């Protein structure tokens, strides 16, 4: 059985820790990295080549940083640079516009 390599991207440390704890206890899953920063997520995805990125839709650094990327823009860049990487978008927001933008980003 192939091990699924996962990168976690969420700006909340407690959410990342919770996801890591849930996933690391499952056979066949390997959390290979985590970050709360969109630009770093793109860099890690290029370097580590995870099978799946669990991506937060909204990243707080995107609003406050000159090069900050939200989850949607980070997803666009990841899927462009590494089309074999799958992105699963995570969000507690239910706005249709955000969902459509996420799907369009890949």
Give the mean model confidence (pLDDT) for residues 57-80. Answer: 77
**Which residue range is the domain that position 34 belongs to?**
4-105
The residue with greater pLDDT, 29 or 70, is: 29
pLDDT > 60? residue 12: yes
What percentage of the chain has pLDDT greater than the value 70?
Answer: 80
Q: What is the pLDDT of residues 21-49, one digit of tens each?
A: 999 989 999 999 999 999 999 999 999 99
* CA angle, residues 15, 56, 27, in degrees to nearest 5: 60
β-strand partners of 9: 35, 55
* Sequence-ordered list of residues with C-beta below 8 angstroms from that of 61, at least 6 positions apart, any chain: 11, 36, 37, 38, 68
Q: CATH number of the domain that 96 lies in?
A: 3.40.50.2300
> Would you state the pLDDT for residue 42?
95
> Would you state the pLDDT for residue 98?
66
């Amino acid at each position: 059985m192939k091990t699924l390599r996962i990168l976690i991207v969420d700006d909340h440390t407690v959410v990342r820790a919770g996801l890591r704890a849930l996933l690391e206890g499952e056979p066949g899953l390997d959390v290979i990295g985590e970050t709360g920063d969109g630009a770093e997520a793109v860099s890690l995805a290029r370097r580590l080549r995870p099978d799946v990125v669990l991506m937060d839709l909204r990243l707080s650094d995107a609003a406050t940083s000159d090069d900050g990327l939200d989850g949607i823009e980070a997803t666009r860049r990841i899927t462009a640079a590494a089309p074999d990487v799958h992105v699963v978008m995570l969000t507690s927001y239910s706005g249709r516009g955000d969902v459509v933008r996420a799907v369009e980003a890949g």
